[in-house]
Structures are given as C-alpha cells and as structure tokens.
Structure 1
C-alpha cells in the first residue's frame, strides 16, 4: 500500500542535530508516511545515524550521493523516489511538530487542495519553546495563488504539503543552485497549483543560529543572492501571469531585497554593479538602495592595501624580475604590442620599474603608477635617466589616472580587485581611458579556478581566462590577440567605440612556451580541490607527519621497505596536490600545536620529514617536492656528512649522504634541517652523558654550518624513553620526532611526536589510507565561502 505522504530530508554534515530531527519526523501522528533521507556526501557522523534510523524504522530509506550535489539536487533525487500522494520537505537541522503532517494532509483531503501551507516558528538555544518570532498565515481556503499573493511570501518550502502531481519531470524540480533554490522551486509549484489552502497551525520549527558579522564581500554576496532569486521568480511569473499582475506583485518579490540592501555597506563598484543589473532586469523601478561605504572605512581599506604592498616590497625584486620566467613573460607581452606609433601610454602596477624600462623605447610618453611608495622610489632610481616617463603613486581602486591613452598596460594587477564585479567595472574604466583605436595590453596568470582540468596557479578566483571573457563582454572593446602559455596569457584589446561587445574569442591566438618555473601555488594538470576550498571547507585535528628515508630505485634488497621509487613518490605528491593538500613546516606546526595550544588546523596540511640526509634527497626528492610545491625537514647525522650510511653496511653498499655544500644549497632554497645526532646510535645504547654530548655537538655543528638556530631533533631508530627525551630537551631542542609509535590522537609530548612511515611497497591506496580524514568546517564558514566564491571574491584566498 502506497504511503499518503513522502517526507524528504537532504543531509549534509548535520550529525549534531540529525537524530533529533529524525525523531520528530518518525513520531508523526499520520501513520502512512515514508521518510526518504539523502546523504549528500557527509564527512561527519551523519551516515551512521541514518543507517541506525533505517535499521530501526522500515519507513526510513537512505540514499547516498557519491559527491556533494547540494540540497536542491538531493531533494530532486528524493522527488524521483517518492511514492506518496503528497510530499513535504524537512531540513536535517530543524524539527516538525508531531501532528503537523496530519494537519496538512487532512486539510488537503477535506477541500481537495493540491497545496497546503502552514505557519512557521523559529527557535533558538536548541529549545523549541524559545521562539523569538514566527511567520503566521491565516486559516483560509483560497482558489488561486494570484488572488492574494502576499499570503505566500516568504516562500519557505518546508512549510508546505505538495501534491506529487505538481512535482517531478512534468512539474516542479529544484534548480541547479547551491543556495536560493527554494524560492525558485516554490514559484514553479505556486503558478501550477489549482487549489491552494492555508492553515494557521505551526507545522515547522526552524532552527535559528547566532548572527555572524560578515565582510563587505559576504554582504555583497547576500545582496546578489537575494536579488537574483527575485529575478528568477519574476521570469517564472511572467511566463504564466498577465504583465499587469506581475508588475503589481513586484513589490512583494523585492520585499526582502529592499529590506536587506540599506543595511549593507557596499563599495562603489559593487553598488554600481547591482544598480546596473537592477536596471537591466527590473526596468523603470530601481529597487536598489545600495550606497557606497562611508569614507572612513574606504580609507581604512586603502591603508590596509598600502601596508600589504609595502610588506611585499620590503625586499627588492620580490618576484625575481631578472629570472628566466619573468623575462620570457615580458618578451611575450611585448610580442603582442601593436606596431603603430604610441604617443601616450599608461602602465598600471609598474612595481620597481623593470618592465617600464623595456617600454620606454616604444612610446613617446609613458605614465607608470604603483600603490607602494617603496616600489615607486626604486622605480625612480631605475628610471632616473628616462626623460619620457612620469611615475605616480596611485591606487587603482580610485580609478584610472588620465585618459585618451593610445596604450594601457595592466598586467598582474586585476586579481587584486575585490571580485568579479569589480573587474567588470574596471574594464569600463580602462575602455573609457583609451583613445579611439587605442590598445589595452594585459598579462595575467592562468588559474585553476577558471579551468580545473588544466595547469594553473591556485591563489585567486580571478584568472586570465575569466579576465579575457569579462573584457570581451565589455561594450566598445574588441579582443584582437591572445598569446597563451601553460602558466599565463597575454591579451590585447582595442577600443572600437561600438555600441556592442565584440566576439568572445580573440581574433588571433598564438601559443608559446613559458620558461621553466616551480612555484608552490602551481597545480600541474589542474586539480580536484582548490587551495581555497580546502582551507574553507576542511580542517584537521592531527596533521600527518610523514616519515621517509630514501627516494631511489636501487639499493640493498633488505632495505627495500625504506626506499621509495621516484615514480611512486611523484604519484603521491601529485595526488596530494590534486586534492588540495599543502605543506606545513614542522617547526611552525610544533609552535602552533605545543606552544600556542592550537587544536584544529585549517585545510589539508601535511608535513614531510626525511631521515639521514641521503644524497638522493638532493638529487631526486627535493626537485620533485619543489615542483609540486611541498616543503620538507631533513635530519642530519652530523658525523657522516659527506660520507655514507655506515650503519647499513651489513646489508650491502651504504647509500651516500650529502656534504655540507649540498646541505647549504638546500637550506638556501628553503629546506629545513634538524639534528639526527652525531653518531646515529640508538639512544638507549648511550649513557646519559654520551647522549647529551652527542645531541649538543650535533646542534652546534649544524648551527655553525648553516648560520641559523636549530630546534628540532630526530631520534635515531625512532625510539626514546622519557629520560632520553628530557636530555634532548636540556640539550637546547624545542621538539623531537619519533617513529610510528604512539597514538597520533594523543600528541601531548613535543619530544615524542609520532610519524607515519611510508614504505617502499606502499601503493597509492595504502598511502591514502594512512592519512587522517579531514573534518568539515562549520556550516557558517561553508556558506560564507560559497557566497564569496560565487562572486569570485578575492577574500576566498586573500586577507587584503
């Protein structure tokens, strides 16, 4: 016998509230129900709770998504499986009164309604009786939605009982949205309903959370969300209702939007973007009350940015301008320049003036601007003999200085604008600053945020592809040429003065090869998880400290477990990088964990350690680590530097150990070093005095060679009793790593930090299984990140 009502519950990381939610649903007084739960790839204990509920109650079905699809797509799966005559939706952190389904079902049966709505109560402090407000509807029978539309605003889908005939392939489904899917869905339901009805009983208990103060970026995200939800609903209503009725209903559609905007502090670019979109979609009545933020916050923001760039330029040449990568990029930029004479040119973001000096011979007069006073002074010194160059301290957030330029160069700059809307607004400013027929030349890095299947950098939501597409949509600009490399693109636009945008694709495309370049933020071959996703959606209680010895193909057979082939090692690195893992320096971890008491670490952090300082680390391991953007700590057995691992002589030819010149070169490149003692003897084989002397001598030797303090120690053969640990502490070390002993969940002793040993025979699945499973961040943080990412807001990566 088919159930009267199907109750659909999407679940994603709600273990704290899920059991109570299920209990409220399972105790409904209407007996004939089915409960369809869709586990949307939860990473907490939600799946176990669902399995337990299904085992205890045959009415509970559990469907599992293979990846996180979002609530709308999950509900659509539930709709497809529902067999009830009616459907209602419940969110996994909310509650439903025990008689709520029965009350709505009885009203539907009584009057023949295909849609019944009840009242909602919001509760806080985990107490349904603590209800600061509610949304009440009258007890009324209505013949059509259009008769009294205000009774249906706001459109909380969880307060409705919906006839199954209104849903699915021939009716309403949830749109492909991560948020704001419910008002669009309910608009479809309402316009198709033939017999709606209202009851005044509370049918839904909505859990309230403490309000969080968001950034300007998150406030803008809320504005855009609210605005475009209303816009989508308007489109649905226009397709089914007379124009005069839609115009009359517009104030109700915009009610939440109007209320929210005056409270938001938007930048001028954000306000302009919303106003333009509002005018485009809503026509005559502009619902936007957005205002520029007060002057004081704008000045504060400017000061923060100046301080940031002053920090970048605290040392000369922060990006290695004279290196092959930057030099080849400069030549590629010049290659795309037009051949015609250039009278007036503007360079935005001139830094210390190196590229400026290459432009001087190509133009009659050049203005170069930069936000950093330090950088401008260095540029002045570099260009002191150039008579045709004017240098100006300027923040591009204040606009474009001057106009009527024949050429504007704007490279490696646009990622630092606030978001995608700011890029679009700045495109218009640059267009308006060009003379008719003038050119705009830009060079920017490829970002994996633009194309996850291709190599790119991973430090911003805005990349060269997005920039090109945004400028191509700008009325009056024509995309004439693009030079593409694996790591960046050079783009040339021309001011046409036309009243429509040009083609989306460039007229000419050149393909070139970038110079070889290693950088921690490059994702070779693309990625599955970006750095911003990992940092905002996941965290770790315990950071895995990985333990390696050799990375080599050959060696004694008995030592094969401690030797990983370069091919297999690279596969592990590639997998980590692809799925959003990043390096954490061991010393930094120890400081945060033991000195500062930090319990959670954002993102997916991993620590690499290498024992014995073998030459193959210098020749093989480090080049691979550096290529994939990982750091490492190497522990040196001091008495064997420049020699070989004599302690392994019984197994065959000992492996060579680095000399001090190799160690110093790695230190210069950023590799961290610690002590592995002098003699590589087991600590329990030495007297207390021998161990103390061995440790102290090793520390002094490394510090003398590298000219920097050494704080980390690694016990030879990995084991140490409490007395030995105390001796290492007294020898001047701040922390020490051990082997695989101990429980990683009980890392209370900084002088016995356990590690995860990676063996030569470990396959990729074995390696993955040894890593801790990251935990999801709070839902508030996840929602904030989703908003910012949708806007391509730089705050997903940057704090400036």
Structure 2
C-alpha cells in the first residue's frame, strides 16, 4: 500500500506531458503512486506514455477505449488507487519542489479528513498567488463551516480539486466519486457533498501547485458548446443534495451559488449559438425558480447590482413557466 495516490487524467496532452512526467519523477518514491488515465488521446500522448513507462516502472497507466470524460477517468483511477491519501494533478499544471510531501505532512499532522491549500495561477510568465477563501490556517475545523452563507465566498466556492489532499480511510468511498454525466463543472457538486458529509478539514499555507489558467485551448471550460451548459446540471445536483437537509442557510447558499453562476454565464452568452443561448435562458430560469421562494429571494438580495437584476428576470421567467 502506498502513502499517497495521485490521479492524473489527460486527453491529447502531448504539449504538457513532458513537464508533467518530470513532476512525477521528482515527486515519486516508494510511498507515491501516480495513476495516469489517458482518455483516448489521438495525438502523441500514448507514445510518450509508453516511453515513460519503461523509465518509470512504478507508473500506472490506463488507456480508455473511448473518450469518456474527466469525471469517468477520475473514477476509473479511484478503483486503482491504494494510497491512504488521495491527491490530484491536472496534466497542464505542475507541483513545485516538495509540494506533495508537504501535503502528506499536513494531513498527517492535523489528523483531519481533508486539507486544502492555496495555489499559484500561471498566465504565461506571470505568477499570481490565489488564496483559498478560509483565513484560518493550520487548525482543524468542522468541514461544514466551509459552506458559508449567501453572499460569502467560502471554501465550497473554491472548486479546485488539486488544491488539497484527502484521507481515504476517514472518508467514505462514495464521497470521492464524480458524476460521470457531467463533462464540465463536476467538481462543484463533488465539493458540496464533501463539505456536507466530512467531519473535519483544515487549510494550510502551501503554495506549490501551479495552475495554468486558460493555457490549454482544449480545456472544456474554454468551450462555447453544449457541454458549457453542464454547469446547469451540476447546479441541479447541488440543489438536490441540499434541499433534503432542510437547512435554511445551506439552501439559501446553494440558491445564491446557482444565481451567481447562471448570471455569470448569461453575461457571457455571446460565445454561444442562438440555440444554446435560448437553452441557457430557459434552463437557468427553471433552475432558479425550483428553489423555495424565500430562499431564492434572500439569495438574490445578496448579489451585486447587475447580477441581481439578471437573476430577478430569470426567476420571474421561471415562475411564469
């Protein structure tokens, strides 16, 4: 059994794979398991991985027979992970020296279910430290405090899977599973379930994860196609997680998150086709109107002026339908 398993999904990653493999070499060791899932790449990724396998015998490589998406790829890797702790790495990003060891040390010393970190945003040659919303550092706390309230920016709103490490012995396996129907935004309901079901967490000052924001032109988050609207499905999953709890603060916070992301995409609708724009408006209206009236009204009041106007129009449309 390894100390930590690191899941690395990838698709057509030939431009980023050499750096990623070097990161694995530098962070590898007897206690580390790297699980690479090639999601049916059509470029040189399979060849590069085959070459790497000869030099890195401890590397686990899985090749999907079809393109299944990142959520399914992560679930496939989970079945192969035998580490006490679980971490993630995106192929176009990298770990700084000692980062993975720092993650393991933090979760072992703090004895919590999972630990989150800050990260460094990479824009070309520019580096910017992006801090996690939680200001308390290096201290255990109840996981549910990461949900926050409407109007707040809480840890549940920091949906970066790789900015953390997770204890597979303290958390049930179903917490780690991703909704495979979601090609984008699958991390968002994943984090809501984590913060709702886990007992303890902590945030630490580690700045060794380097995230290439918008650098990969193949990233689905940069697309303007039908999969862009999967955020609506993800938001519906969050609603379905929260409403049965009956917790008014959680419900209002989830309503706020839904209103915020819907109005964000409505404001950027120009990248969508006319048909997708119509779908965006209709489905956003239906989603927001599906929340209890009082919770959604309170959530909208917590928005800034422009999103508030947009959200009210969407809710009015949804309630008339």
The alpha-carbon deviation at position 222 of structure 1 amounts to: 7.5
Please give the per-residue CA displacement for 1:197-249, whole angstroms capped at 9, x wherever unaligned.
1112224211123699xxxxx7585773333322212322334x442122342
TM-align CA RMSD: 3.2
2:188 is equivalent to residue 179 of structure 1: no
Residue 274 (structure 1) aligned to one of 283, 294, 310? 283
Q: Is the 8 A contact 2:142 2:199 kept in 1?
A: yes
1:105 counterpart = 2:104: yes
Match of 1:189 in 2: 194
1:444-455 superposed matches below 5 A: none
Aligned with residue 210 of structure 2, among 202, 205, 209: 205
Give the distance between the partners of 1:170 and 1:226, measured in 2 at CA.
21
- CA-CA distance at 1:258 after TM superposition: 3.7
Higher helix share: 2
**Alpha-carbon distance in structure 2 between the residues aligned to 1:65 and 1:275:** 33
Structure 1 residues 30 and 155: alpha-carbon distance in aligned structure 2, compared to 1, 3 A threshold: farther
1:136 equivalent in alignment to 2:132: yes
Measured after TM superposition, the shift of residue 122 of structure 1 is 1.5
Deviation at 1:186, TM superposition (A): 2.5
Residues 171 and 198 in structure 2, CA contact (< 8 A), matched pair in contact too: no
Distance 2:146 2:6 in 1: 28
Q: Deviations over 1:283-306 (max 9, x none)?
A: 4227672799xxxxxxxxxxxxxx
Matched residues in 1 for 2:193 and 2:232: separation?
18
Report the Cα distance in structure 2 between the residues aligned to 1:168 and 1:243, rounded to whole angstroms.
Answer: 22
Change (3 A) 1:203 1:252: farther
Tell me, in whole angstroms, the C-alpha distance in 1 between the residues paired with 2:51 and 2:171.
Answer: 30
Contact 2:93/2:210 (<8 A) preserved: yes
The alignment partner of 1:27 has SS state of helix
Q: Give CA-to-partner distance per residue, 1:540-566, whole Å, 9 cap, x none.
A: xxxxxxxxxxxxxxxxxxxxxxxxxxx
SS of the residue corresponding to residue 35 of structure 2 reads strand
Alpha-carbon distance in 2 for matches of 1:123, 1:48: 27
Match for residue 40 of structure 1?
A: 39
Distance apart, 1:55 and its partner CA: 1.6
What are the superposed Cα offsets for residues 595-619 of structure 1, whole Å, 9 maximum, x if unpaired?
xxxxxxxxxxxxxxxxxxxxxxxxx
Query: Paired residues, what number?
Result: 284
Q: 2:162 aligns with which of 130, 143, 158?
A: 158
* Runs of 5+ consecutive residues of structure 1 not aligned to the other structure: 213-217, 293-474, 476-800
- 1:24-423 to 2 correspondence within 5 Å? 24-28=23-27, 32-125=31-124, 127=125, 130-132=126-128, 134-137=130-133, 138=135, 139-149=137-147, 150-165=154-169, 169-176=173-180, 177-209=182-214, 221=226, 224-239=229-244, 241-250=245-254, 251-252=256-257, 254-265=259-270, 269-270=278-279, 272-284=281-293, 285=296, 289=310
Offset from partner CA, 1:153-199 (integer Å, 9 cap, x none): 22111112011236675443011122222222222322221221111
Change (3 A) 1:157 1:80: same
Alignment partners' CA distance in 2, 1:234 and 1:281: 9
TM-score scaled to structure 1, two decimals?
0.33
User: For the structure 1 residues 275 and 50, does the alpha-carbon distance in structure 2 shift closer, same or farther, using more than 3 Å as the test?
Assistant: closer
Contact 2:113 2:171 in 1 (8 A): no
Decide whether aligned partners of structure 1 residues 35 and 269 sit closer, same or farther in structure 2, where only a CA change above 3 A counts.
closer
Larger radius of gyration: 1
Distance in 1 separating the partners of 2:155 and 2:84: 25
1:85-129 C-alpha deviation (Å, 9 max, x unpaired) = 00111111111122222112111111211201011221122x4xx
Q: Secondary structure at the match of 1:35?
A: strand
Are 1:30 and 1:101, in contact at CA under 8 Å, matched by a contact in 2?
A: no
Distance 1:291 1:247 in 2: 18
For residue 275 of structure 1, report the CA deviation from its aligned partner.
4.8
Q: Is the 8 A contact 1:117 1:161 kept in 2?
A: yes
Asked whether the 8 Å contact 1:18–1:93 carries over to 2, the reply is yes
Unmatched 5+ stretches in structure 2: 148-153, 218-222, 301-306, 314-320
Q: How far apart are residue 135 of structure 1 and its match? A: 3.6
Question: Using the alignment, how far apart are the partners of 1:90 and 1:246 within structure 2?
Answer: 30
Tell me how far apart the structure 2 counterparts of residues 8 and 58 of structure 1 sit (CA, whole Å): 16
Secondary structure of the corresponding residue to residue 98 of structure 1: coil
1:405-459: CA deviation from partner (whole Å, max 9, x where unpaired): xxxxxxxxxxxxxxxxxxxxxxxxxxxxxxxxxxxxxxxxxxxxxxxxxxxxxxx
